[in-house]
């Protein structure tokens, strides 16, 4: 004889979710806009030496302290090249320290000023 009403032994049927369920402890990170061809061309001019320690084998670090009003968007022209150790692998890395200001205090390298100087030099060269 079939049951006519739902009991604690008969669970409510679940409809499929429109969005996937996030796992506990995982954050969704906004990635922003991908770099365009102009930004990639600029990155190619930055070379392959770490701005902090001078080793080769670098990755692009976006400056975390973007201009006011940008929110979480990345400025693809305000970047520096860092080795993985200086970027996010070791205790003195910019991401593990949390900011460029902390990196400046600990390592003595002003990444923000380097990024601004390199960007301005590149843009002035395009204007000439």
Give just the sign of the alpha carbon dihedral 71, 75, 79, 83: positive
> What's the pLDDT tens digit per position in 70-81?
555 667 889 999
Kindly state the tokens that stand for 25.
């402890």
Find the largest Cα–Cα distance for the chain: 87
pLDDT value for 75: 78
> Within a domain: residue 53?
yes
Q: Which of 9-23, 40-54, 70-84 has the lowest mean pLDDT?
A: 9-23
> What's the pLDDT tens digit per position in 52-65?
988 988 999 988 65
> Within a domain: residue 107?
yes
> Within a domain: residue 22?
no
pLDDT value for 7: 61
**Domain around 94:** 37-127
pLDDT band at 29 (very low <50, low <70, confident <90, very high): very low
Locate the DSSP E strands across 8-87: 59-62, 79-82
pLDDT value for 68: 54
> Within a domain: residue 9?
no
> Within a domain: residue 84?
yes
> Within a domain: residue 17?
no
17 versus 125: which is more confidently predicted?
125
2 versus 108: which is more confidently predicted?
108
> Within a domain: residue 19?
no
> What's the pLDDT tens digit per position in 85-113?
988 888 888 888 888 888 899 999 999 99
Q: What is the DSSP letter of 85?
A: I
Total structural domains within the chain:
1
13 versus 43: which is more confidently predicted?
43
Could you tell me the CATH number of the domain that includes residue 107?
3.30.40
> Within a domain: residue 83?
yes
């Amino acid at each position: 004889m079939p049951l006519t009403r739902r009991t604690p032994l008969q669970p409510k049927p679940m409809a499929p979710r429109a969005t996937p369920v996030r796992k506990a402890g995982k954050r969704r990170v906004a990635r922003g806009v991908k770099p365009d061809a102009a930004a990639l061309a600029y990155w190619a001019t930055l070379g392959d030496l770490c701005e902090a320690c001078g080793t080769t084998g670098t990755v692009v670090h976006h400056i975390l302290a973007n201009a006011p009003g940008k929110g979480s968007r990345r400025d693809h022209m305000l970047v520096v090249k860092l080795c993985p150790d200086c970027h996010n692998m070791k205790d003195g890395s910019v991401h593990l320290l949390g900011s460029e200001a902390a990196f400046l205090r600990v390592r003595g390298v002003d990444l923000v000023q380097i990024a601004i100087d390199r960007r301005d030099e590149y843009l002035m060269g395009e204007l000439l």
